[in-house]
Amino acid sequence: MARFRRTERCSGNGPQSPEHGSVPHSGNGPDIQIREDDLTGPAIRAFLRDHLDHMHEITPPESVHALDMDGLRAPGITFWTAWAGPELVGCGALKERDPASGEVKSMRTSPAYRGRGVGSRILEHLIAVAKGRGYRCLYLETGAMPEFAPARALYLRYGFTCCDPFAPYLPDPNSVFMVKRLD
């Protein structure tokens, strides 16, 4: 049975370093290798199936914006997985919105590795790639429910700020929309 509780929204900006509002990786946590992934391996298929199942458990159907496998294979989307040795511990994707901006998609950390820096490493990687592509802005949509509070805190720490919905999204009380300037 699904449970839906909408409460917190975006509030305030987290600590930012002087350069682009980013927070450098501290080197703490597990040794993580981030690899571009073609989404064909059984580990990532199961990981994403769990991700989508979890999103549908905690989010009303009309507010689930997580991409399925076909969506993640669409042109303009690059997908990465994070590994601690042989163990898949996280993933994230970057969708090109236009030549000057991208969108963070499908950020997920394995429950066993939450709070250990995996999400930070993935987000740092996505931000670096976005800067390398010359994007001026990086957008994301995340949930407004309490289950998404750690994700929102992570994004705020890395200099994302709340913004209005951006295309193709519409206003949604179950979503928080964020943007980070990269230039």
CATH number at 100 reads 3.40.630.30
* Cis peptide bond N-terminal to 150, omega within 30: no
Per-residue pLDDT tens digits for 50-83: 999 999 999 999 999 999 999 999 999 999 999 9
d(CA 87, CA 5): 32
Residue 46 lies in a domain: yes
Give 49's contacts (C-beta < 8 A, 6+ positions apart).
none
The whole domain housing 92 covers 33-139
* DSSP secondary structure code for residue 85 in this structure: T
Residue 79 lies in a domain: yes
Per-residue pLDDT tens digits for 90-114: 999 999 999 999 999 999 999 999 9
Residue 3 lies in a domain: no
Helix (H, G, I), strand (E, B) or coil at 157: helix
Higher pLDDT, 171 or 22: 171
Q: How many structural domains comprise the chain?
A: 1
